[in-house]
């Protein structure tokens, strides 16, 4: 027997929760770029918003608590692009290593 | 990072950005794993000829240009133009396009606040929001707390936003999806008879179009 009520973690409507946190932030460039990549990949037909959501939901509740909104988005964008065969896991890993070697900050890690 | 302070608006104060948020030094901290992933994904998409860098920059500009001011213009027009209001309530996507706002394939539905009914929008499953008209959603819209409670105890949630509705006012909560998004058409404030469309638009806040607030009083 399972105690599962039939909902997945993202189906939050009606659950108990605390006060709404009112603090916000202005989006940083890397976050805006992730938003733009999602929109453009959708326009190009590389994957759909449903694909984005499916990947985010499959990350599980732990990821929701642990990672920020656009961190989850880039993980989901990447997952969909890998599945679509746009690039390989090896290409991604190699590139991420190269980027780490470019410099210690986001600005310094840009190409060129 | 230069901080550009705007003092023309009560909602902006010292140490806060023009959108009323505290600054944070995202670009100054150590490079994160996810930032590296963003750079890698972007570079690979460009190298494999799926995107060009200018497209990404342009898309960011398009998104930055969208703000609650767009929605406020739509609302103010609906307040003074009954025919437009009827078109807005019939098809908010078409009515927004009519005013020159490119809202893409978004299916937008406007819900009207009246003396008897107050509307509130939420996305319980994720973060669907009328972003093509209003810009990106505020952080609280995407939180577990708002998503969970807005559909169960909306009056309590509204009180946290400083809105204490009379029991005689019905509260209608609209749960958005990726394909169907809502905006609230707030009720026109009393005492605004002589105001121009532009003056009226300045009364319309982001939260009044989500339903967590009311328009400003003139």
Task: Go through the domains of chain A in sequence order and give each one's CATH number.
Answer: 29-102 (1.10.472.20)
pLDDT confidence bin for B3, thresholds 50/70/90: very low
Is B96 among the catalytic positions?
Answer: no
From chain B, the residues in CB contact with A16 under 8 A are: 148-149
Tell me if B164 is assigned to some domain. yes
- DSSP notation for A51-66: HHHHHHHHH-HHHHHH
Residues B101 and B47 in one domain: no
Is B176 among the catalytic positions?
Answer: no
Residues B55 and B143 in one domain: no
> Residue B45: its pLDDT value, please?
98
Burial letters for A39-64: b for 16+ Cβ neighbours within 10 Å, e otherwise? bbbbeeebbeeebbbebbbebeeebb
pLDDT confidence bin for B28, thresholds 50/70/90: low
- CB-based contact A105 B37, cutoff 8 Å: no
Residues B137 and B179 in one domain: yes
Is B123 among the catalytic positions?
Answer: yes
Residues B190 and B100 in one domain: yes
At A79-106, the pLDDT tens digits run 999 999 999 999 999 999 999 999 999 9
From chain A, the residues in CB contact with B175 under 8 A are: 13
Residues B57 and B149 in one domain: no
Residues B85 and B169 in one domain: yes
Residues B92 and B108 in one domain: yes
Residues B40 and B148 in one domain: no
Tell me if B11 is assigned to some domain. no
Tell me if B128 is assigned to some domain. yes
Q: Which of A22, A91, A105 sits opposite B44 (nearest CB)?
A: A91
Reported ipTM: the value is 0.94
A interface test, pick of B11, B40, B135 with most A CB neighbours within 10 Å = B40
- CB-based contact B148 A15, cutoff 8 Å: yes
At B119-176, the pLDDT tens digits run 999 999 989 999 999 999 999 999 999 999 999 999 999 999 999 999 999 999 999 9
Catalytic entry in B19, B49, B67, B127: B127
Residues linked to residue B108 through DSSP beta bridges, in sequence order: B181
Residues B73 and B61 in one domain: no
A interface test, pick of B18, B55, B59 with most A CB neighbours within 10 Å = B59
From chain B, the residues in CB contact with A47 under 8 A are: none
CATH of the domain at B125: 3.90.330.10
Instruction: Report the domain count for chain B.
Output: 2
Residues B173 and B85 in one domain: yes
Catalytic entry in B93, B96, B128, B176: B128
Provide the residue range defining the domain that includes B60.
33-65
Residues B43 and B73 in one domain: no
SS3 content of chain B, % helix, strand, coil (to 5): 40, 10, 45
Spatial separation of the C-alpha atoms in residues A81 and A28, rounded to whole Å: 23
At B112-121, the pLDDT tens digits run 999 999 999 9
pLDDT: which is higher, B206 or B5: B206
- CB-based contact B178 A53, cutoff 8 Å: yes
- Torsion angles phi and psi, residue B80, rounded to 5: -110, -10
């Amino acid at each position: 027997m399972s105690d599962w009520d039939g909902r997945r973690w993202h189906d939050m409507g009606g659950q108990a929760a605390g006060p709404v946190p009112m603090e916000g932030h202005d989006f940083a460039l890397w976050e805006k770029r992730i938003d733009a990549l999602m929109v453009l990949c959708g326009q190009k037909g590389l994957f759909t918003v449903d694909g984005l959501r499916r990947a985010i939901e499959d990350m599980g509740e732990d990821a929701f608590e642990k990672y920020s909104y656009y961190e989850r988005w880039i993980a989901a964008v990447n997952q969909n692009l890998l599945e679509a065969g746009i690039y390989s896991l090896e290409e991604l890993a190699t590139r991420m290593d190269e980027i780490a070697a470019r410099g210690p900050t986001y600005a310094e890690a840009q190409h060129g | 990072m230069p901080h550009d302070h705007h003092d023309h608006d009560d909602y902006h104060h010292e140490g806060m950005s023009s959108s009323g948020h505290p600054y944070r030094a995202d670009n100054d901290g150590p490079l994160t794993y996810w930032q590296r992933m963003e750079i890698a994904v972007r570079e690979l998409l460009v190298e494999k000829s799926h995107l060009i860098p200018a497209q990404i920059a342009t898309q960011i500009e398009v998104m930055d240009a969208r703000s609650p001011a767009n929605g406020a213009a739509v609302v103010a027009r609906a307040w003074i133009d009954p025919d437009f209001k009827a078109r807005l309530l019939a098809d908010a996507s078409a009515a927004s396009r009519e005013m020159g706002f490119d809202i893409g394939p978004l299916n937008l539905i406007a819900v009207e606040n009246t003396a008897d009914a107050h509307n509130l929008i939420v996305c319980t499953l994720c973060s669907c929001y009328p972003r093509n008209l209003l810009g990106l959603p505020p952080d609280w819209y995407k939180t577990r707390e708002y998503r969970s409670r807005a559909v169960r105890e909306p009056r309590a949630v509204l009180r946290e936003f400083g809105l204490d509705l009379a029991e005689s006012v019905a509260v209608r909560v609209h749960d958005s999806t990726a394909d169907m998004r809502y905006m609230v058409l707030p009720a026109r404030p009393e005492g605004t008879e002589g105001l121009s469309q532009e003056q009226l638009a300045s009364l319309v806040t982001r939260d009044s179009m989500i339903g967590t607030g009311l328009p400003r009083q003139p």
